[in-house]
A = this chain, B = another copy of it.
Amino acid sequence: MSDVEDVVTLLESRVKALEDQLALYRIVGTYGPAMDTGSAEAAGSLWAEDGVYEFDTMRATGPAGIAAMAKSDAMRAQFEQGSAHVASMPLVRITGDKAQATGYTRVYLHSPEGYDVWRVAASHWEFVRTTEGWRVSRRTNRVIDGSPEAREILRRGLGSVGS
């Protein structure tokens, strides 16, 4: 029976890895709807207590810092105009109780003439597994405007596809 038990143990870890990846997709995909609705608690709950969000030259820390962004006048002005913070399907890597994801974000803003693509950026997310699930330990977001910082972020998502 040890053979079957070994296979089952291995299967459990493979299923766990798949569940982890979809859970990380969910975190990346939750940020936008939280910001576009001013949902401060939902946005903040994505981050670990000491988690950081580095956004161009700005920086927010922990659930309270992220919640403050979601409640800010700037964010309210955007979503009352009509905003969509849309994340691409990210490239995810999981290493035990840590993980990272890399992807694009776009902010579409409504205007009388239609929609403007107001911002396109690269994001690198780092996650830590807590007793309550995955939380963001660090997110770095840089606008894509030709400067090397955004390319440096995108490069972190690349790697061997053979594994």
> Footprint of B on A, CB under 8 Å?
1, 4-5, 7-8, 11-12, 14-15, 18-19, 21-23, 25-27, 29-30, 32-34, 36-39, 42, 45-46, 79-84, 86-92, 102-104, 106, 108, 110, 114-120, 122, 132-135, 144-147, 150-151, 154-155, 157-163
Copies in the complex: 3
CB distance from A91 to the nearest CB of B (A): 5
Closest CB of chain B to A80's CB: distance in Å?
5
Q: Which residues of B contact A144 (CB under 8 A)?
A: 36, 82-84, 108, 110
Chain B residue numbers with a CB within 8 Å of A106 are 84, 86, 108, 115
CB distance from A23 to the nearest CB of B (A): 7
A8→B27 CA distance, assembly (Å): 28
Which of B11, B118, B133, B151 meets A12, CB within 8 Å? B11
A-B contact pairs, 14 of them (CB 8 A): A1-B1, A8-B8, A11-B11, A15-B18, A26-B161, A30-B157, A33-B102, A33-B155, A33-B157, A36-B154, A39-B158, A42-B158, A115-B116, A115-B117
